[in-house]
């Protein structure tokens, strides 16, 4: 007898720590029969899936290459057509640089029921952890989420102009090696070189690091920090409110002197 098609839930895993999952995301992971997870999903979160759940890594991790988007789509479809409850787990919020639109459209076109479960995005986790807001009355009237890479929706001319507005907080995702170039571009567009910035590595995780600086000094800040983990760069006056020591574990505090 043919199986009833299963469903696919596109779930935000948040920035890493399991206690930043939403309750809905937690329930989805705990009930998953097949779990397809991206590189930035932490082991702590993957471990919440049942032992019998089929777990498939789709992102670049520990030297392995990423699966092609087409392969991921076909895999989700095959598993759902087997009647499984499939969870597609993505770091942060799946609707922010998470290709959720493409995956949902593909599944919808194939007649598979989908649901999106939101998650805590890296910028929100960074701001909460280091004690600064992303918008602030009279100081930061808008928040622009963008990427420093050009491959995925890099800033267009109009986008750079909006980002140069002193009342815009800019959160730059991806393209760690291109952050300095993005900072220079913002300065060229008229944003003050003295604008405070905060690069946050591993936001929302116990090993998070906050690297405060200025737009003009970003290159030196990043070079000195030798980052290896995922980094979100927040640009704007609001970052000056941060307490960079607030979230640091004791050993990191001792190292910072
Ligand atoms: C493909 S995007 C996915 C963003 C994700 N959907 C979100 O809402 O956070 C990956 C980029 O997000 C940022 N990122 C994701 N998790 C992060 C974390 N825990 N700390 C800092 N940046 C993070 C980095 O810029 C990374 O290169």
Atom of ligand 1 nearest to the CA of 120: 8
CATH number of 122-241: 3.30.950.10
Burial of 257 (0-12, 13-18, 19+ CB in 10 A): exposed
Q: Contact 207/250 with Cβ under 8 angstroms?
A: no
Considering the entire predicted model, what is its pTM? Answer: 0.91
Residues present in the chain in total: 257
- pLDDT at position 2 is 58
**128 CA from centroid of ligand 1 (Å):** 15
**DSSP bridge partners of 144:** 170
Q: Which residue has the tokens 């983990």?
A: 229
Spell out the domain ranges in the chain: 7-117, 122-241
Those residues with Cβ within 8 angstroms of residue 206's Cβ, 6 or more apart along the chain or in another chain? 17, 249
Residue from 232, 233, 247 whose mutation best tests the ligand 1 pocket (most atoms within 8 A of CB): 232
- The ligand 1 atom nearest the CA atom of 173: 25
> What tens-digit pLDDT sequence spans the chain (257 residues)?
556 778 999 999 999 999 999 999 999 999 999 999 999 999 999 999 999 999 999 987 655 678 999 999 999 999 999 999 999 999 999 999 999 999 999 999 999 999 999 999 999 999 999 999 999 999 999 999 998 776 544 566 677 888 999 999 999 999 888 899 899 989 999 999 999 999 999 999 999 999 999 999 999 999 999 999 999 999 999 999 998 666 555 555 555 54
SS3 168: strand
Q: What is the set of active-site residues?
A: 38, 60
Which residues contact residue 180 at a Cβ distance below 8 angstroms, ignoring those fewer than 6 apart?
218, 219, 222
Residue 255 has a pLDDT of: 58
CATH number of 7-117: 3.40.1010.10
């Amino acid at each position: 007898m043919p199986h009833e098609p299963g469903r696919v839930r596109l779930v935000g895993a948040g920035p890493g720590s399991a206690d930043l999952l939403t309750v809905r995301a937690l329930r989805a992971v705990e009930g998953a029969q097949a779990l397809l997870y991206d590189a930035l999903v932490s082991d702590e979160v993957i471990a919440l899936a049942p032992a019998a759940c089929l777990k498939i890594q789709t992102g670049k991790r520990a030297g392995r290459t990423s699966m092609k988007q087409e392969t991921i789509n076909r895999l989700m479809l095959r598993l759902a057509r087997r009647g499984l409850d499939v969870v597609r787990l993505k770091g942060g919020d799946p609707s922010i640089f998470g290709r959720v639109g493409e995956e949902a459209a593909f599944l919808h076109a194939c007649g598979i029921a989908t649901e999106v479960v939101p998650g805590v995005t890296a910028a929100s986790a960074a701001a909460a952890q280091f004690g600064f807001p992303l918008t602030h009355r009279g100081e930061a009237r808008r928040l622009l989420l963008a990427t420093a890479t050009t491959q995925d929706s890099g800033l267009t001319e109009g986008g750079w102009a909006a980002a140069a507005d002193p009342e815009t907080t800019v959160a730059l995702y991806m393209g760690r090696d291109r952050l300095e170039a993005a900072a220079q571009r913002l300065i060229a567009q008229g944003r003050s070189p003295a604008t405070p910035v905060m690069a946050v590595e591993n936001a929302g995780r116990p090993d998070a690091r906050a690297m405060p600086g200025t737009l003009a000094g970003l290159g030196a800040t990043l070079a000195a920090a030798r980052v290896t983990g995922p980094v979100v760069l927040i640009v704007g006056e609001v970052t000056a409110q941060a307490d960079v020591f607030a979230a640091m574990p004791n050993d990191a505090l001792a190292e910072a002197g």
